[in-house]
Amino acid sequence: LAADDILFVHSPYVSSQLLAQWNGPALYLEELFPWKHKSNKENIAVGSPTVSHTALQLAINMGFEQILLAGVDLCYSSEGMTHSGNISIDEKDTYHTTVKTYKGNEAETSFFMQMGIISLNNIAKDAKCSIYNLSENAAVIKGIEYKQSPALPEKATTLPIINKPNKETRFEHLK
């Protein structure tokens, strides 16, 4: 894929160095300025704690009827590791609780993952679409069902990006 085929979705909290280097199409979420300004246009508001939450809210706002979550476990594995396998339970962290997984097991979770679970509960509660988690070892979230991972096609299909901005038109809304 070329850079022009990849949509960079970002919020006000994006690294300015990363954004400055991006020459492809970009989609800005939230308001342009955190105060009232004539350049603020109605936009997709997310205000989510993680990339996964933001991506879910974007997919909901884009009108998808079915959304599949992958890698959104929000709990530790039975070995005490995160889904990435490189972060373990910190014994110094005083807040740990257990959650039920889609597989029916108990799993430990941290304070921050528990807040992520609560946030996903709120997002799913208001969604007008079906949301599925593809991991049976993920924490159960109200409004999100477990679905066995579907077979993926050998060749991925992509959606065309309409109205690709370029360097000249990228900041027209600021004029």
**3-state DSSP call for residue 3?**
helix
What average pLDDT does the structure give for the chain? Answer: 82
> How many C-beta atoms surround the C-beta of residue 118 within 10 A?
14
> How confident is the model at residue 49, as a pLDDT?
67
Query: Could you tell me the two tokens for 59?
Result: 């997919």
DSSP sequence for the chain? --GGG--EEE-TTS-HHHHHH--S-EEE-S-SSSS--TT---------SSHHHHHHHHHHHTT-SEEEE-S---S--TTSB-TTSS-B--TT---EEEEEBTTS-EEEEEHHHHHHHHHHHHHHHH-SSEEEES-TTSBPBTTBEE-PPPPPPSS---PPPSS---TTTTTGGG-
| 76-81: average pLDDT | 77
pLDDT digits (tens, 9 = 90+) for 118-127: 999 999 999 9
> How confident is the model at residue 69, as a pLDDT?
94
pLDDT digits (tens, 9 = 90+) for 98-116: 999 999 999 999 888 899 9
Give the distance, in angstroms, between the CA of residue 156 and the centroid of all CA atoms in the same chain: 20
The answer on pLDDT for 133 being more than 60 is yes
| 25-29: average pLDDT | 85
More confident residue, 42 or 168: 42
> How confident is the model at residue 101, as a pLDDT?
96
Query: Which pTM does this prediction carry?
Result: 0.76
